[in-house]
Structure 1
Amino acid sequence: MNWNKLNDPIDIENFMDLFGGFHDSCLKELYMWTETFVDEDLSMSMSVNLDTCVRVLFQRQAREPSAIELLFKGVTHFHIHPREDGQDSIVYGAKLVLKEGLFYWAEDEDWQIDQPFLHPVSWISAKEVHWRDASSWMGEEQRYGVLRDEKNL
């Protein structure tokens, strides 16, 4: 699976057309990491760069592709708003825009950059966005890791 980088509004438009604007999709999984870590000798190693990255797996009720993975690099904001009990988690349509050097993805077509918390939706902004076809990752199987001791919860 090769990564495709989004560079400009034309790339965004083509990608959104390819994935149907995220219509009837769901955010299946996500994984976040940084370059910061504590070594075995307990010394801390950290980057002075914008080093937060997020991978997100989306599945949808359509083919070609039926699943995609987004990679956000240089994340500047990450806001996840889970649905309340009794509400579905379907993404009916999403927004992806490039503004002033940052890419913004939101799970609502009506979401506005200048009022990001007006509506309770998940959204993310980052310096780079890459995507790849993950259609072979359909179904309930977890791709980013399994909670090994969930029986002990």
Structure 2
Amino acid sequence: MNWNKVNSSTDIENFMYLFGGFHDSCLKELYMSTETFVDEDLSVSMSVNLDTCVRILFQRQYRDPSAIELLFKGVTHFHIQPRSEDQDSIIYGAKLVLEEGQFYWAEDEEWQINHPFLHPVSWISAKELKWRDVSQWMGKEQRYGVISNEENL
């Protein structure tokens, strides 16, 4: 499972074509991390760089590929908008653009960078973007971690 770095608008066009513009897909899981941590001696270690990374697993109802993982590095904005109870969680089309050195992904083709909260959708922006085919990750199984003993939650 090799990572493919997205460098240009042409890379974006090719990727969006390959994954069908996210049509009939869903956001299955996501994982966010930073380089900041508290050591065993309780000292804090942190980066002065944009150190937030987000990995997102998408699955879709088509093959080749049927699941992909996006890796956003140097995240500058991260907005998750869960669907309401009366809405499905299917993504019918997404937007992915490179503008002024940042990658923007939004779960709606109509989403606008200059009015990001006009439509309440999930969106993210970051300095770097990579993707990989994880078609073997189809199904219900969680890939980014499982809560142990869910009965006690």
Shorter chain as normaliser: what TM range?
over 0.9
Q: TM-score, normalised by structure 2?
A: 0.99
Counterpart-to-counterpart distance in 1, 2:126 and 2:149: 33
Partner of 2:71: 71
Please give the residue correspondences for 1:1-153 in structure 2 after superposition, counting only pairs within 5 Å: 1-153=1-153
Q: What is the CA deviation profile of residues 13-47 of structure 1, one whole-angstrom value per residue up to 9, with x for unaligned ones?
A: 00000000000000000000000000000000000
Counterpart-to-counterpart distance in 2, 1:60 and 1:53: 23
TM superposition shift of 1:53:
0.1
Counterpart AA for 1:53: C
Counterpart AA for 1:8: S
Counterpart-to-counterpart distance in 1, 2:152 and 2:86: 26
TM superposition shift of 1:127:
0.2
- Match of 1:111, SS state, is coil
Query: Which portions of structure 1, spanning 4 or more consecutive aligned residues, are displaced by more than 6 angstroms?
Result: none
Counterpart-to-counterpart distance in 2, 1:149 and 1:37: 26
Residue-pair matches, total: 153
- Match of 1:88, SS state, is coil
Q: What is the CA deviation profile of residues 58-84 of structure 1, one whole-angstrom value per residue up to 9, with x for unaligned ones?
A: 000000000000000000000000000
TM superposition shift of 1:150:
1.6
TM superposition shift of 1:86:
1.7
Gaps of 5+ in 1: none
Counterpart-to-counterpart distance in 2, 1:93 and 1:135: 19
Counterpart AA for 2:99: K
Counterpart-to-counterpart distance in 2, 1:79 and 1:123: 5
Counterpart AA for 1:100: E
Q: TM-score, normalised by structure 1?
A: 0.99
Counterpart-to-counterpart distance in 2, 1:69 and 1:136: 11
